[in-house]
Amino acid sequence: MELFYSAASPYARKARIAAIETGMADKIEMKAIMPWEDPAGYRDVNPIGKVPALVRDDGPALYESNVVCEYLDAQGDTKIFPASGPDRWTALRQLAAADGILDSSVLTRIEGMFHEGGAIAQKLIDRQELSVSSVLKQLESEVADLEGTVTIGQIAVACALGYRDFRFAEIDWRDAHPKLAAWHVAFAQRQSITQTDPEA
């Protein structure tokens, strides 16, 4: 199998961490690309042109990070999507919250990257930052739910916090969310996290 990623992409990082945590990494060839450069042929793999995408041995390519993660979970020996019951909904809620941070943060970054003349869309940026701070507040109040066996929820939260540190380092989130910060310090020791650090 081949996993297309870019080192800076937090969505691709979710899939790369999932590959390691499910025990599937050895079966996957990692292919680093620059999605914004639209590499030749990549839209045949993922017509949306984004990373990550997984070229499978047993079917057409899969894309969208959560779909790729769920496939790796299904194939791997170690499960990161709890099968059913309250633990599953907790993990999926954390995944949705973390994706909310990523979607808002990436939108803000894209506005910066593509801005041409005229005023920046400050209203748009303020709204994204409100979403980020609201999600961080919720995660802080539910930090106990981030303990226990590794799940896709924990992985996604680690990717979201890591992305804030990577691209928004000037906006401190730790002071107002000390419990989340402490959880992140401990979780970030995992090999899957250090190996996929965009700044490593």
Ligand X SMILES: N[C@@H](CCC(=O)N[C@@H](CS)C(=O)NCC(=O)O)C(=O)O
- Contacting positions for ligand X (CB under 6 A): 9, 11, 35-36, 49-52, 64-65, 106
Between 106 and 125, CB nearer to ligand X: 106
Please report, for residues 5, 13, 22, 55, 185, the alpha-carbon distance to residue 193 in angstroms, rounded to integers and kept in the order given: 15, 9, 13, 23, 11
Between 143 and 196, CB nearer to ligand X: 196
Between 39 and 49, CB nearer to ligand X: 49
Tokens of 137: 């507040």
Question: Shortest approach of ligand X to residue 194 CB, angstroms?
Answer: 20
Nearest residue to ligand X by CB is: 50
Question: Shortest approach of ligand X to residue 119 CB, angstroms?
Answer: 23
- Rounded to an integer, what distance in angstroms lies between the CA atom of residue 52 and that of residue 137? 28
Nearest of 166, 178, 168 to residue 132 by alpha carbon: 168
Between 18 and 143, CB nearer to ligand X: 18
Question: Shortest approach of ligand X to residue 102 CB, angstroms?
Answer: 8
Roughly how many angstroms between the first and final C-alpha of the chain, as a whole number?
Answer: 25
What length does the chain have? Answer: 200
Tokens of 41: 């042929």
Between 13 and 184, CB nearer to ligand X: 13
Question: Shortest approach of ligand X to residue 125 CB, angstroms?
Answer: 17
Question: Shortest approach of ligand X to residue 38 CB, angstroms?
Answer: 8
- Rounded to an integer, what distance in angstroms lies between the CA atom of residue 146 and that of residue 181? 12
